[in-house]
Amino acid sequence: MLEKNRLRIALQKSGRLSSESYNLLIKCGIKINFQHNQLIAFAENMPIDILCVRDDDIPGLIVDKVVDLGIVGENVLEEKLFIKDNVKKKKFYNLLIRLDFGICRLSLAIPKNSAYYGLDSLKNKRIASSYPNLVTQFFYKKSIPFKLCILNGSVEVAPRAGLADVICDLVSTGTTLEANDLKEVQTVFNSQACVICRLGHIENSKQIIINKLMNRINGVIKARESKYIMLHAPISKLNEIISLLHGAENPTILKLAGEKNRVAMHMVSSETVFWETMEKLKSLGASSILVLPIEKMLE
Ligand code: ATP
Ligand code: ZN
């Protein structure tokens, strides 16, 4: 049974966002016992219930206030909550944070052998897409007429099947387009997974849990981007070494036993450390350079 005073979070049941969404909650310390094919899972250590649904249903569940939070792609949000001719965009949810996964773009693609000289070449063409609202909005703004062919799957085969001249579909690496002899010509919308919160009054007890969860999600994201760096360095080159490590703040300098001219440096960097940087550090005299992942971070 769903209890009213427990926070409800909707996640995609199975698909591209599922495992990263579940893992994010688990990294936030929520103990959930997921059973295969279960619609609802209950957290054991926090007053949180998880609803496992199709991603397309998440915007509606938020608008109808059935759930308090949801993790969903911005593409689905925009498509589902788009209202034709809405001049003043009505607010349906609060976007709390972008999660840096589920990164993709909704793009227009045409057969490789078709000529393309800008968007005008798509005038009056048949465009197949599962995103009728986003496509319509895009072409409406450009004042380019087109014919819409709504398909809910296998959009990429539409040109070969003679159903459409152009497709508008989600792309991440481009391999699906490549495999179907299509070329990407224009991005329509950039997307990633995000946490959204319903509008309206939220009980204090629930708001406390939301705040706690959002702090932890922030910590997980920060930790994912950050690295712990340890190295030994000649004292004479400390400044040059620090300036190479962008995003590293206030390094800790430690004495090295039996060494007068070298010290150990420990620091957290908010950026990935590339091999090129490590090689430069080495050429400045640094040694024993370690770059470690950080699991959690609370500032
Ligand atoms: P459901 O059964 O939940 O409706 P689905 O088939 O609509 O699932 P998925 O293919 O699992 O959806 O994609 C879910 C979301 O993952 C997309 O809406 C998008 O935000 C994101 N995504 C990231 N990369 C891609 C990609 N290359 N192709 C499709 N979606 C992607
Ligand atoms: Zn879907």
Tell me: the pLDDT tens digits for 209-246? Answer: 999 999 999 999 989 888 999 999 999 999 999 999 87
Compute the residue count for the chain: 299
Residue 286 backbone class (left: φ over 0; alpha: ψ -120 to 50; beta: rest): beta
Q: Is residue 12 within 8 Å of 67, Cβ to Cβ?
A: no
Mean predicted lDDT score pLDDT of the chain: 92
Q: At what angle do helices 204-225 and 18-27 cross, to 10 degrees?
A: 100
Q: Is the CB of 240 under 6 A from ligand 1?
A: no
Query: Worst-scoring range by mean pLDDT, 12-26, 33-47, 194-208?
Result: 33-47
E-assigned strand segments in 117-181 = 126-129, 147-150, 166-171
Distance 215 CA to ligand 1 centre (A): 26
**pLDDT at position 63 over 60:** yes
Rg (CA), the chain: 25
Q: Is the CB of 70 under 6 A from ligand 1?
A: no
Torsion angle, alpha carbons of 261, 262, 263, 269, to 10 = 130
Distance 40 CA to ligand 2 centre (A): 18
* Band of pLDDT at residue 151, cut at 50, 70 and 90: very high
Cα angle 69, 51, 173; round to 5: 75
Distance 170 CA to ligand 1 centre (A): 8
> What per-residue confidence (pLDDT) applies to 89?
63
Q: Is the CB of 76 under 6 A from ligand 1?
A: yes
Query: What is the separation of C-alpha 174 from the centre of its chain, rounded to a whole number of angstroms?
Result: 18
**pLDDT at position 71 over 70:** yes
pTM for the complete prediction? 0.88
Domains along the chain with CATH numbers: 7-102+193-223 (3.40.190.10), 104-191 (3.40.190.10), 226-293 (3.30.70.120)
**pLDDT at position 2 over 80:** no
